[in-house]
Amino acid sequence: MPKNYTVTLPHYSVGPSCYDELGQVTRFYGRTAAVVGGETALAKAGPALKAGFEKAGVKLTEWTVYGKDSTNANVEKIVNNPKVQEADLLFGVGGGRAIDTVKTAADILGKPFFSVPTVSSNCAPVSAIAVIYKDDGALDHYHFPKRCPEHCFIDTTVILDSPEELFWAGIGDALSKQAESQLASRGAELTHTPLLGVQVGLVCEDPLLEYGKQAIEDFRAKRDSHAFTETVLDIIVSTGITSNLTTTKDSYYYNSSLAHCFYNASMVLPSIHKHLHGEVVSFGTLVLHAVDEDDVALERLMTFNHSVGLPVTLAQLDITTPEQVNALVDRAATMKEWTCVPYEMTKDKFRNGIYKVDELGRKFVAKQS
């Protein structure tokens, strides 16, 4: 007999004054809220967000900084905060790591969680997964909340006030979703939920290729344009829905594959830590296509990457020695994502894929210049 299961999908508000919609959402959940986020994020979103709470008639029990990274210690700090414990609702404000930290705490506390992204760099604001790191920056584990965030409030004017490089890297991260979900699920007998997720994943790449470059230009000009909004929604919502529908803790995991395997493994290299998540993932997506021997997709994404300044060579990621590549490959073979392919993975296959991208990338850069 089939088991019961529950699927939750994200709700979201988007636009230049979407915090005005707070009351239409929160009235179903409670009248008090604790707000936890990044220091800069709280400062930038604070005035409009507090006005939204006031308009909604929601009393704030706490307004505090979460810490600096999504670590177990910072999760515990939130969980043990009495002012958080007394609130009906818990809001996470900031980037992916701030939101993942508060998301995890909300799940532990059993409180409805609402996300307020102040950057557009990943799908954390709507996804039912949180990435928890060790104190030294290495990956610790994935936390799987019982539900995705109840609602996500995407104020595009706040995101336009964030660092450009985070938006740029967000495009790089989002470009991996379609390729990874397609590769990880290839040949699998998909039931309704993951099948739906994989199909949603098919709409993640084309909008970025169509709007991404213009969106970066509009970001620089602080234009809240159609291209910018479409790109933000792709980065946060489209990829997040795909993630929620293709991920479970125990039965299936089609959300990720070799692109994030490359990123997670690269964390063993001290030189990589100065590079942004999506920046590294974007190179990992090229590696995925090289390993999968899809030269058409590889050329298409390499062309786009180069057009917006995302990496196409190892040197652009400060990976310059065979020893670094070997250390990365050795680490990759221990990752969950290493197995998210429809064929046997070997270290040689992964290493060869990395070097293939680097060789093509160097030729591509030389040709373009």
Closest of 47, 43, 50, 52 to residue 18, by C-alpha: 52
> Is 226 part of any known ligand binding site?
no
Does residue 1 register a pLDDT over 90?
no
Residue partners of 322: CB distance under 8 A and separation at least 6: none
191-206 pLDDT tens trace: 999 999 999 999 999 9
> Is 266 part of any known ligand binding site?
no
pLDDT given at position 86: 98
What's the average model confidence in pLDDT over 167-184?
Answer: 97
> Is 358 part of any known ligand binding site?
no
CATH code: domain 164-368 is 1.20.1090.10
> Is 192 part of any known ligand binding site?
no
> Is 133 part of any known ligand binding site?
yes
HSE-CB for 205 with a 13 A CA cutoff: 19
pLDDT given at position 248: 77
For 269, the token pair is 């290299």
Q: Domain residues of the chain, as ranges?
A: 11-161, 164-368
> Is 321 part of any known ligand binding site?
no
What's the average model confidence in pLDDT over 291-300?
Answer: 98
> Is 162 part of any known ligand binding site?
no
* 3-state percent breakdown (helix, strand, coil) of the chain, nearest 5: 55, 10, 30
Q: Which fold has domain 11-161?
A: Rossmann fold (3.40.50)
Measure CA 150 to chain center. Answer: 17
- C-alpha–C-alpha distance, residues 253 and 250, integer Å: 8
182-235 pLDDT tens trace: 999 999 999 999 999 999 999 999 999 999 999 999 999 999 999 999 999 999
Within 10 Å of residue 334's Cβ, how many Cβ atoms? 10
> Is 161 part of any known ligand binding site?
no
> Is 100 part of any known ligand binding site?
yes
> Is 121 part of any known ligand binding site?
yes
> Is 12 part of any known ligand binding site?
no
